[in-house]
Amino acid sequence: MSEAPAIAVRGLTKRFGNRTVVDHIDLTVQPGRICGFLGPNGSGKTTTLRMICGLLIPDAGEGEVLGLDLLTQRRAIKQQIGYMTQKFGLFSDLSIAENLEFIARVYSLDNRKARVDAALERLGLASRADQLAGKLSGGWKQRLALAAAVLHEPRILLLDEPTAGVDPLARREFWDQIHALSRDGMTVLVSTHYMDEAERCHEIAYIAYGVMLARGTTDEVIAASGLHALEGEGPGADRLAAEIEGRPGVAMAAAFGTSLHVCGSDLAALRAAVVPWTDHIRWTETEPTLEDVFINLMRTATDNSVLEQA
């Protein structure tokens, strides 16, 4: 694809006091792609999103967003970005339609009624248009927030843990909407803690304590991890996690239903570690999961906030 990247930032860095929250992050995202941001709490995901959309000024680094200079054209960048924050930020004492009408006025949009009506239909909100936002459940608030974020037809959409606290059906419907926007050419950056959501992204970026530790498609990230996995099935397999995790060659062990999932970087050492249980547990090689990879990365990452406070 010869089209220029929607986002291309290099060396993005942000400090708060003595703490480096984002440490020389490089990120390139092509138009129409969905990129998932993952990492532990306090890892710099939200700060990175806010620098990309122009809300925060980087202490170091450079780049372009939609071909605009990240440092000198922040106002123009903001006009072409939709941002959905973690916390519901619309007016609880206004109806769904009134909230969208307000957003349309903020952006000085033309044909406001037609735009609002179209947004209500697209997000399935038309039948609830007169309902107060403060009376909505988490899933419906999420739909309203998404409608508000894309009302001005941005080219990039930033979503900061958008599905926290909503039920599985609402999450599924939300992601169907995200993929529909992506098919229409919108570029999406989304931070999430849910592994199933990460797997629905075209590509992922794993950030821990300000440092980019993994980048690529789900398959690429898993392959690059160097992890191997065994699955144990048999009587009491799920109760062996604590005992097996402490053995040489085992990075982690976790129960999945009645089976046990065991991971490590050396397959031979992993097989040797489970030998004492081969008489009643059947061990088969399996693929490590994305969750395996991220937990392993999290355990090996250095928490710079602890170091800098010491």
In this structure, is residue 16 part of a structural domain?
no
Helix (H, G, I), strand (E, B) or coil at 120: helix
Model pLDDT, residue 307: 43
pLDDT band at 309 (very low <50, low <70, confident <90, very high): very low
Taking 80 as the threshold, does the pLDDT of residue 276 lie above it? Answer: yes
Q: Identify whether 250 is part of a domain.
A: yes
CB atoms within 10 A of CB 17: 7
Token pair belonging to 218: 């789900």
Q: What are 50-84's pLDDT values in tens digits?
A: 999 989 999 999 999 999 999 999 999 999 999 99
Average of per-residue pLDDT across 130-152 = 91
Angle, helices 218-225/290-300, rounded to nearest 10 degrees: 50
Evaluate if residue 191 carries a pLDDT over 80.
Answer: yes
> Which residues is 28 bridged to in the sheet?
8
| Residue closest to 209 by CA, chosen among 307, 139, 116 | 307
Residue 283 lies in a domain: yes
- Reported as half-sphere exposure (CB side, CA atoms, 13 A), residue 236 has a value of 8
Q: How far apart are CA 202 and CA 180, in angstroms?
A: 13
CA angle 141, 197, 239 (to 5 degrees): 115
> Does residue 254 sit within a domain?
yes
With cut-offs at 50, 70 and 90, classify the pLDDT of residue 304: low
Whether the per-residue pLDDT at 308 is higher than 50: the answer is: no
Q: Which domain holds residue 242?
A: 228-287
**1: number of Cβ within 10 Å:** 7
Looking at the domain assignment, is residue 122 inside a domain? no
Residue 258 lies in a domain: yes
Q: What is the mean pLDDT of residues 244-265?
A: 93
Residue 209 pLDDT: 87
**Rounded Cα distance, 310 and 306, in Å:** 6
Report the domain count for the chain: 1
Q: What tens digit of pLDDT does each residue of 109-124 get?
A: 999 999 999 999 988 8
Average pLDDT score over residue span 283-287: 95
Q: What distances in angstroms separate CA 225 from CA 43, 197, 229, 261, 272, one per listed residue? A: 19, 20, 12, 16, 21
Confidence of residue 305 (pLDDT cuts 50, 70, 90): low
**Structure tokens belonging to residue 46:** 């939200």
Least confident piece of the model among 5-14, 81-90, 222-231, 241-250 = 81-90
Residue 1 pLDDT level (bands cut at 50, 70, 90): very low
Within 10 Å of residue 10's Cβ, how many Cβ atoms? 14
- CA 132 – CA 243 distance, rounded (Å): 53
For residue 70, tell me if it sits in a domain.
no
Strands (DSSP E) found in 162-310: 187-191, 203-208, 211-216, 228-233, 252-256, 259-264, 282-286
**213 part of a folded domain:** no
Count of CB atoms situated within 10 Å of the CB of 31: 17
CATH of residue 238 = 3.30.70
